[in-house]
Amino acid sequence: MSNNKLIEAIGIDGPAGSGKSTIAREVAKKLDFTYIDTGAMYRAVALQACREKVDLEDEKEMIRIASEIDINFDATGTIIYLNSEDVSSLIRSPEITGNTKFAARVTEVRDLLVKRQQQMAAKRRVVMEGRDITTVVLPNAKWRIFLTASPEVRAKRRLNDFAQRGHTVDYDKLLCEIIARDESDNAVGPMKEAQELARAGKGIYLLDTSELSQQEVIDNIVQYVENY
């Protein structure tokens, strides 16, 4: 992704709980694009690491796992396969959610997965969502969008997501985790850069979803894409 030619892709960035996954999936359906949940790929690495009972702090082991495992999506992008096994539900457990950071924070792991993600986008029209999509993974996407919402709204959304999967999680704990992650993201790095570009109106469309319904967000993005 080193040249300046725009590719027919939609990149959706944003902090934890901003609604990226659901929104990206529905936008992809509306526009007949392929949905790619990049965060699911890091979750798959974390799941494999837990299965192998490796030390999650051991970066070399995390790199080895990321380089060895096979990660694929179905045609809709809603089912993720780890070594040909459907792990779509397994990677959403609170345990894997909490351990995904051990994969995501390793530079070499991110480099490996970003390369795979860019290869996916080069083969088909995608709606790709996750972290650092608009600045690192698909900086040349024709449509770059940054979704955000208040920490309280995002914590409630996360709480509902866990509840729908049968998991009980404390709201206050979730809120504290989201605020802490925001502070880290806002200090330095691609997320900070994406927010700054979006707020300045420089190539990234900023959309605050705090007061919007899911359908309103989807319609807003579809209209933006169709008009640009």
Q: What would the pLDDT profile of 20-65 be if each residue is shown by its tens digit?
A: 888 999 999 999 999 999 999 999 999 999 999 999 999 999 999 9
Is the pLDDT score of 3 beyond 80? no
Q: Which residues neighbour 107 within 8 Å (Cβ) at sequence distance 6 or greater?
A: none
Q: Which residues neighbour 70 within 8 Å (Cβ) at sequence distance 6 or greater?
A: 81, 82, 83, 84
Is the pLDDT score of 86 beyond 80? yes
- The pTM of the full predicted model, rounded to 2 decimals, is 0.82
